[in-house]
Structure 1
Amino acid sequence: MNFMQTAICLLPVIPMRKEPSHRSEMVSQLLFGEYVKTGEEKNEFVLVKCDYDGYEGWVQAKQLSAVNGNEILQTDVYTASFATPATKNNTMLYVPYGSSVFQQRGFGFKAAGFDLTYLLQPQQTWNSKQQKLTVESLEAAYQPYLNAPYLWGGKSVYGTDCSGFAQQIFKLFGVKLLRDAYLQAEQGTAVASLPEAQLGDLAFFQNEKGRVTHVGIVLNEGKIVHASGEVRIDQIDANGILNSLSGERTHVMHSIRRFSF
């Protein structure tokens, strides 16, 4: 498949589906400001490939805005508030946490009739190039996601799956993860065992067939933050995850990987 034309998501969040149908499962999402390359069109949907992680899926063609080469902007800055107010054609638009910001003080973008202007102050933004991984900065990054419901294919504070959550948090620190947990488990470098794990390592968990099906971010003091039912903090030991409330074993350990922040 040839992906030629570049397009941008200028809506708060757009579902990406496995097939070109509203009834098809959602495999991921596009957040505001994310770029894709577009390919085949079918049933008012278009096949897209994400610039950030190469992930593919179908979105409604009319939900994207085509852009020219000189309109493709790079950014390391993301929204830091839960829902950032912006204006679109003089009407209000709310952009979710972790969305791209192309200038720290305001962003104007014109495409397909859009004239979108951010009403941001510097304290409402998160510059991934300036972030160091600490207990405090990691907590600040994941805190808006706490209690967000689990949503297959989701990656926003309104609903996320485990790998989408990890990908978005790592993006805020300038570390690029692939979309799915089994792909993320092939990135970084191996950590031999949990006692050697550090803050910010990714822990992966397996099903009964030994396949990676879950991921979470290692915290200090034997804790892990992950999306399981909701984004939550649980206990982790050498065998896997223990629900912090019930004590139930919910996930079986597969491996731990470390990334350069």
Structure 2
Amino acid sequence: MRSAVPDFVAGDGRSRRAAQRVPTLASRRRSVFKPSLLAGIVVLLIVVTPLLPLGCRKIPTDAEILQTVQSILAEISVTHKLDGREVVFEISPTVEKRTITLQGKTSEPSLKDELISRLSAIKGAKVQDAVEVLPSKFLGDKTFALVKEPVINLGDGPGRNQGSHVVTQAKIGDILMLLEEKDGWYLAQMAADRYLGWVSDREIWRVDKATLSSYLSGKVALVVAKMTPALGTPGGKETFDKNLVQGVVLPVKSVDERWIAVNLPGRDVAYVKASDVKVFDRIDQVFAEKKGADAVIATAKQYLGLGYLWGGTTAYGFDCSGFTQFCFRMNGYFLRRDADMQYEMGEAVPDRKNLKPGDLVFFETYKKGPSHVGIYIGDSRFIHAGSSKGVAINSFDPSHSEYSLDLDRRYLGARRIIR
């Protein structure tokens, strides 16, 4: 209609030729009337159409609306690269009489807002929101926690944090964000890498935001030794049956030449050897310095011979991606938790001939896609935590004694994190 009306008013070839004739009264009335009638029809349609019965307009069916809802959910997931290991976005939509009912939960309020905004634009549909935004309101103000044992497992469900159910580990002093509770277990998100897992209430100290800020407000000590015991008194009995591991960060109470007194989460003070830790003025300084590839490799080589541990992220045992994540974090670089996640980071190194020390090398092992990762150390060699030999060095060069034909064949690609 927009293209026809301007052409008619301006006049096409026929209207210009007709204007050269002497018009009769009737012809003059018709020439004046037609555009007025056309405009009137357009206005009438605009005014009357919304008043017509629904059957006169195309309104999507419940099935069509549900299909649109599912498409929007899929688009949001792809656009934001949502991963259930890091984000809770569990939405179940139903449609009845053109009313979209959303049930479920999410840890990201902005995703819920985007979803409702897009659904509200669906013609003829209404949205009923029953999605819970985590943390659950039943947790009250204490939606944070600090790990209070030397090393704990995070599991794939309440009461399931052993063996193949382990998804990752946390160290004493690690900060967790609590999302929901079930039977004395909490769905927690690691503050360091956003990874999700279930923890027992016996292994954490629940706090509110103010308590957490106060606890971490002063100097902190980073454990730099592979392991160190926490003692009840200087030179006294050990507080735990396990040692504190490299990478643990705890607030400092006092310092002397031989001993550092640290505040244990939800517990009393413990003492650690001053030579086994490094003190920082603020917690945000601890992993701030990017130390380069040589430092990452040096950290990795400390653990040669250490056995493999599924889900492991500490000096008591690593899995492959837990090992790379740890080595990089200790030297100022962030990596996501799993091998396939790390494969999405940094920049690709298309040709293996162009590998540099510190590059991550990936392999396709027990499943399709990147399922194993190591750190390239130069001269065709790489260090990794393998399921059979633990932390070891292998090579891509058949002339080397460390050559692995199996891993050579399974090589998938590399990513450069350190530039």
TM-score range, shorter chain: 0.7 to 0.9
Q: Distance in 2 between matches of 1:243 and 1:45?
A: 49
- Greater alpha carbon shift after TM alignment, 59-68 vs 206-215: 206-215
User: In angstroms, what is the RMSD of aligned CA positions?
Assistant: 3.0
Separation of aligned partners in 2, 1:220 and 1:79: 28
Q: Structure 2 residue aligned with 1:184, among 330, 336, 342? A: 342
* 1:206 aligned residue: 364
Cross-structure match for 2:269: 116
Does residue 144 (structure 1) correspond to residue 302 (structure 2)? The answer is yes
SS at structure 1 position matched to 2:374 = strand
Unaligned runs of 5+ in 2: 1-105, 107-133, 136-141, 280-285
Structure 2 distance, partners of 1:46, 1:247, is 42
Consecutive unaligned residues of structure 1, counting only runs of 5 or more, are none
Provide the rounded CA distance (Å) in 2 between the counterparts of 1:245 and 1:91: 43
For residue 139 of structure 2, what is the aligned residue in structure 1? none
Cα distance 1:209–1:11, how it changes in 2: closer, same or farther (>3 A)? Answer: closer
Q: Deviation string for 1:25-62 (max 9, x for gaps)?
A: 10100012210011222232111000011100011111
SS in structure 2 of the partner of residue 163 of structure 1: helix
Shift of 1:242: 10
Q: Which has more helix, going by share of residues?
A: 2
User: Displacement, 1:145?
Assistant: 1.9
Q: Does structure 2 conserve the Cα–Cα contact (< 8 Å) formed by 1:162 and 1:215?
A: yes
Asked if the contact 1:84–1:96 (Cα under 8 Å) also holds between the matched residues in 2, the reply is: yes
1:20 Cα offset (Å): 0.9
Structure-1 residue corresponding to 2:126? none
Aligned partner letter, 2:144: T
Q: 1-side partners of 2:333 and 2:385: how far apart?
A: 19
Tell me which of 50, 53, 61 is aligned to 2:193: 53
| Conserved? CA contact 2:363–2:370, under 8 Å | yes
Q: Deviation per CA, 1:101-122, whole angstroms, max 9, x where unpaired?
A: 445953533643x123342425
Which residue of the partner structure matches residue 15 of structure 1?
Answer: 153
Q: CA deviation at 1:246?
A: 7.1
User: In structure 2, what is the Cα distance between the partners aligned to 1:246 and 1:140?
Assistant: 21
Match of 2:229 among 85, 94, 98: 85
Q: TM-score, normalised by structure 1?
A: 0.85
Whether the 8 Å contact between 2:396 and 2:403 is mirrored in structure 1 is no
Residues 180-228 of structure 1: per-residue CA shift (max 9 Å, x gap):
1101111111112111111101011124864110110000111100011
The alpha carbon displacement at 1:123 in A equals 6.0
Aligned-pair identity in percent equals 28
Task: State the distance in 2 between where 1:195 and 1:246 align.
Answer: 16
Would the aligned equivalents of 1:16 and 1:27 in 2 still touch at CA under 8 Å?
yes
Aligned counterparts, 1:121-136, within 5 A: 121=274, 124-125=277-278, 128-130=287-289, 132-135=291-294
Measure, in 2, the Cα distance between the counterparts of 1:101 and 1:244.
42
Task: Indicate if the aligned counterparts of 1:189 and 1:257 stay in contact, CA closer than 8 A.
Answer: yes
Q: Secondary structure at the match of 1:87?
A: coil
- C-alpha separation between the residues in 2 aligned to 1:212 and 1:33? 31
Query: What amino acid does structure 2 have at the position aligned with 1:97?
Result: Q
Higher RCO by CA contacts (8 Å cutoff, separation 6 or greater): 1
Task: Please give the alpha-carbon distance, in whole angstroms, between the structure 2 residues aligned to 1:120 and 1:211.
Answer: 44
Assess if the C-alpha contact under 8 Å between 1:8 and 1:66 holds in 2.
yes
Compute the displacement of 1:245 (Å): 5.0
The 5 A counterparts of 1:1-261 are: 1=106, 2-3=134-135, 5-22=143-160, 25-67=165-207, 68-71=211-214, 73=216, 78-87=222-231, 91-92=237-238, 93=240, 94-103=243-252, 105=255, 106=260, 108-109=262-263, 111-112=265-266, 114-121=267-274, 124-125=277-278, 128-130=287-289, 132-135=291-294, 137-207=295-365, 210-228=368-386, 229=388, 230-236=390-396, 244-245=401-402, 247-250=404-407, 252-260=410-418
Please say which of residues 175-184 and 70-79 is displaced more in the overlay.
70-79
* Structure 2 Cα separation of the partners of residues 79 and 231 of structure 1: 21
Q: Is the 8 A contact 2:250 2:263 kept in 1?
A: no
SS at match of 1:169: helix
Could you state the TM-score of these two structures normalised by the residue count of structure 2?
0.55
- Greater CA drift, 78-87 or 167-176: 78-87
Letter in 2 for 1:249: D
| Cα distance between partner residues in 2 of 1:14 and 1:61 | 11
Q: Name the CA distance, whole Å, in 2 between partners of 1:184 and 1:12.
A: 26
Larger CA Rg, structure 1 vs 2: 2
Q: What is the number of residues matched between the two proteins?
A: 256
